Chain A
Amino acid sequence: MYKLRDSTFQNYQKEVIRKSDGVVIPFDGENTDYQEYLKWVDEGNTAEAAD
């Protein structure tokens, strides 16, 4: 459902890809998609590791 993505540039922040639609979700606590991701993790799920 989610896949992590590592930095590709020095200043890149961590990001997570939602696999269902390919959107890029920033690690920002005020982003509602990130809040959904955290809820999903709290339910015991684990995102795929970055390549």
Chain B
Amino acid sequence: MSKLKTNTIQHTGGSADNITLDNSQNVTAEGNLTVDGNLTVSGTSTISGYNPTSSRNNRNLIINGACNVAQRGTSSTSSNYATVDRFKLNTTGTDEAPTQAQVDVGSSDLPFTKGLTKAYKITNGNQTSGAGSGDRIVIQHRLEAQDIRNSGWNYTSTSSYVTLSFYVKSSVAQNFFGKVKTSDGTSQNYPFETGSLSADTWTKITKTISGNSNLQFDHNNGQGLEIEFTIFRGTDETGSVTLNQWAAFSGSTHTPDNTSTWYTTNDATLEITGVQLEVGSVATDFEHKSYGDELARCQRYYERNTCTWAGYTAASQGNGSLRVYYNTTKRAAATLSVVTAATSVQNLTSQNLGDAKVDGFVVDTRIGSSGYGRFYDLLAASDAEL
């Protein structure tokens, strides 16, 4: 066995050392070090300039980007928030309402191979009168101002970025537009396009968006940023606007004029999943979360609670109240509604929901006559969406 004794190693064509050795068993790689195999470090690692972009937790600012949570149901012909949590279907002027649904992603489809097995699907109705100038079918995702302000994005700097990425599939080959819009101060709009999509083919779209000195995000729970996937907007809301740059928002120019092929195709479909918005100029792999973690994030905006109560009065009538505390503190005091009426209602003249606070609400009951009053399994919904 031979031993090489030297203090430095230098490339034959180089002018400086590549590797330096000292008499304390230390080795210094003077330039870049590439390890094709595994790297094992038995001691402490000190890595300056380490940028763990793909392993940083909570980097996805989108809630329910994998479309796994659907507290309200899995299919609906209603607009607004009705199926997949945090995704709002905004429509107007349609002849027949589109259907929104949480659907399975095919096991051989691109998102599935990335661990994304659910999607948000819009199925067009039959728009018999064609594409009207005031018609609209868009998907929106709204984020709180404080969550953008404190995300780590230096949003007033043109050299600081956020990156939006998502998977989309349309049954109709078409270019679609979208936009990112701010709410605080003078509202700013950043329109973008998907590029021409092939029919029935999942495509990953990535948009890197710079900051701008006109952007403002207040430290509050109001709407700060709206991300829109524009399926169709009529010409009342579209026009001359420049893609991929910030400009003051105008309600008459959300995006350039839209192609109407999808909108005028009966039962056309569009699916979206894997939606991610992250600080930085690189689209990292989708950040997967457990169902429980994502549900809790969704419940800041919408939660359902099952309520049961029993009481007694010796008088001819009496009152009772049940305060229900949420699993997750709400963004704001919530709008209350009954999803499913109580069963086994006994001796009660009313059960009213009210007194909404960010941490809960009250079911107010009236007992009609002396004796016991009770109800079981009243399913209440609390909506504090943006």
Query: What 0/1 pattern do residues 2 to 25 of A give for CB contact below 8 A with B?
Result: 000100110111010000011111
Taking A8-B364, A31-B334 as known contacts, 9 extra A-B pairs with beta carbons closer than 8 A to each other, sorted by chain A number, are A9-B321, A13-B356, A23-B336, A24-B336, A26-B356, A31-B333, A31-B335, A32-B385, A33-B383
Residues of B close to A21: CB separation below 8 A: 337
Task: Report the minimum CB–CB distance from B318 to chain A (whole Å).
Answer: 13
Residues of A close to B362: CB separation below 8 A: 9, 12
The residue from A11, A24, A33 contacting B353, defined by CB atoms under 8 A apart:
A24
- On B, residues with C-beta under 8 Å from A are 220-222, 319, 321, 331-338, 352-356, 362, 364, 383-386
Residues of A close to B332: CB separation below 8 A: 28, 30-31
- On A, residues with C-beta under 8 Å from B are 5, 8-9, 11-13, 15, 21-26, 28, 30-34
Sampled A-B contacts (6; CB under 8 Å): A9-B362, A15-B356, A23-B335, A24-B353, A25-B335, A26-B334
Chain A residue at minimum C-beta to C-beta distance from B142: A32
How long is the Cα–Cα vector from A49 to B355 in the complex, in angstroms?
Answer: 18
The reply to whether A26 and B335 form a contact with Cβ atoms under 8 Å apart is: yes
How long is the Cα–Cα vector from A8 to B349 in the complex, in angstroms?
Answer: 14
Residues of B close to A13: CB separation below 8 A: 355-356
The reply to whether B337 and A24 form a contact with Cβ atoms under 8 Å apart is: yes
Residues of B close to A28: CB separation below 8 A: 332-333, 356
How long is the Cα–Cα vector from A33 to B335 in the complex, in angstroms?
Answer: 7
Residues of A close to B353: CB separation below 8 A: 24
How long is the Cα–Cα vector from A11 to B331 in the complex, in angstroms?
Answer: 21
How long is the Cα–Cα vector from A34 to B332 in the complex, in angstroms?
Answer: 11
The reply to whether B364 and A9 form a contact with Cβ atoms under 8 Å apart is: yes
